[in-house]
């Protein structure tokens, strides 16, 4: 639907978490990956990681696809972005 121009897309939390979990940190940053590989993050992403475990080409295609997703949409009538966190106001 997005490719055909009938819908728009915004990167969601799951895509963001997966992308940062699989993206290496910058050299010298002390971060092997942008998202720490701990039990909590593994629990959140485990199903996705298992689905791609034996499908490296699909994993590459998915990563390429989500890297192109916008983090927000801005239209005349509204703005939409993925939740970046919670804050009490």
88 within domain boundaries: no
pTM comes to: 0.80
65 within domain boundaries: yes
Q: What was the pLDDT predicted at 80?
A: 82
35 within domain boundaries: yes
Q: Are 45 and 21 in contact (CB under 8 A)?
A: yes
Q: 73: which DSSP letter?
A: E
61 within domain boundaries: yes
Q: Are 68 and 5 in contact (CB under 8 A)?
A: no
Q: What was the pLDDT predicted at 83?
A: 65
Q: How confident is the model at residue 82 (pLDDT cuts 50, 70, 90)?
A: confident
3 within domain boundaries: no
Instruction: Indicate the number of domains in the chain.
Output: 1
Q: Are 9 and 2 in contact (CB under 8 A)?
A: yes
57 within domain boundaries: yes
86 within domain boundaries: no
């Amino acid at each position: 639907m997005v490719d055909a121009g009938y819908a728009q897309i915004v990167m969601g939390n799951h895509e963001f978490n997966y992308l940062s979990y699989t993206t290496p940190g910058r050299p010298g940053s002390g971060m092997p990956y942008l998202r720490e590989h701990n039990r909590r993050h593994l629990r959140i992403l485990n199903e996705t990681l298992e689905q791609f475990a034996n499908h490296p080409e699909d994993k590459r295609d998915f990563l390429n696809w989500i890297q192109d997703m916008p983090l927000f949409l801005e239209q005349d009538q509204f703005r939409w972005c993925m939740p970046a966190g919670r804050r009490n106001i």
